[in-house]
Amino acid sequence: MKQSYHYKIYSSVAELPESWDTLSVSNIFLSGDYLKVMDNSAPKNMICHYIGLFKDDELTGIALSQFLDLNLVSSFGERDTCIKTSVRNFVFRNFTSHVLFVGNNMLTGQNAYIFSENLPAKEGISLLHKAVKELQTNFKKQGKKIHLTTFKDFFTDEKVVLEASEFHSFYKFSTQPNMIFPIAENWKSEDDYVAALSKKYRDQYKRAHKKLDGIEKRKMPLAEIEQHNATIHNLYMNVARNAPFNTFFLAENHFYELKKQLGHNFLFYGYFLEDKLIGFNTLIKNGATIDTYFLGYDDEHQREMMVYLNMLYDMIKYSIKKQYKEIIFARTALEIKSSVGAKPHEMVGFIQHSNPLINRFAGKIFKSLEPETVWQERNPFK
């Protein structure tokens, strides 16, 4: 008897099949608990759907899609005010403002889907493309024509995915690398990491720590996150607005909701100066990996006290102490992350424009819109 592969699209966690979390155990970012955060506090310009992939009646794959309306973003980035930025913003608003992602635009890494061993990758990719066609049709009926469809992020060794025939009409792109910090097996404490640094970077570590004198760092529970919610959002927005490009801004209750849903798997660290919150960073436990999430700080103390660099060292200290295998530092601030020991890993995605004529020039358009980052890789170890 021929096996029947099919898919179902869900618009809320309440609709998900009971077996969903038996597949999501390998990635917290596709778990029901994390997807509840998407239900309750996704950015205002984002609509999420969850896709179940079936072989007959068996759930054999799960995936996430995100629709983004860039017209609802107040700023694509305020740091670069120039003609190129104005042109880029005009093009985005008029020709690429409705984007459908298969994957999570809020994270770096392959957080788009999980296939069980009973679902061949080739079949899974085919099902996802069919689901995307249905989503495009559904959004069009609501007056939201999809301009760009994007599948992200894949490591370059995922051959079955990268060579899938469904992607032949897509433009394959590579953006800034994913900065991943590997934790050596013989490191048992922060002292082992510091000992492995060359003199120049050991001095950088000592200098940064000295600058943080007077700052109290503490893990904040749910009630304290709620208490400082307005300050937290302001500190986050201060960093986000200075990014060269934004496709969304987090909802004000986002960190509260993350702590509420993920509990001990979501860590929120506040940095206090004389009882005033001047910065924060966040980590998410994901199996043997630690994912760095969003952070915030004010400009005055960041410059004076090297707050950001100290946050990176604190993340490393925690991850070594808890014996994680690696830290996903994602794809911003490449050089400073490189200076603490993170290594660049190239990731690729696929993008297609709904207009066939425009799609022929997708490569040129993408290159003109993607802010180019020139940076120098560092090696801080002996």
CA 78, 82, 87 angle in degrees (round to 5)?
Answer: 95
DSSP code, position 175: -
- Nearest to residue 109, comparing CAs of 64, 154, 53, 63? 154
The pLDDT confidence band at residue 2, using thresholds 50, 70 and 90, is low
Per-residue pLDDT at 91: 63
**b vs e for 286-297, b when ≥16 Cβ sit within 10 Å of the residue's Cβ?**
beebbbbbbbbb
Amino acid at 318: Y
Parse the chain into domains and list their residue ranges.
Answer: 5-168, 179-345
Q: Summarize pLDDT for 64-82 with one digit per residue, the tens.
A: 999 999 888 865 444 445 5
Q: Summarize pLDDT for 199-233 with one digit per residue, the tens.
A: 999 999 999 999 998 999 999 999 999 999 999 99
Contacts of 359 (CB under 8 A, 6+ apart): 169, 171, 352, 353
Just give the CATH number of 5-168: 3.40.630
- Fold of the domain spanning 179-345: Aminopeptidase (3.40.630)
Per-residue pLDDT at 79: 45
Residues 244-260, mean pLDDT to the nearest whole number: 92
Per-residue pLDDT at 75: 53
- Is 179-345 the same fold as 5-168? yes
Q: Summarize pLDDT for 328-365 with one digit per residue, the tens.
A: 999 889 999 999 999 999 999 999 999 998 898 888 77
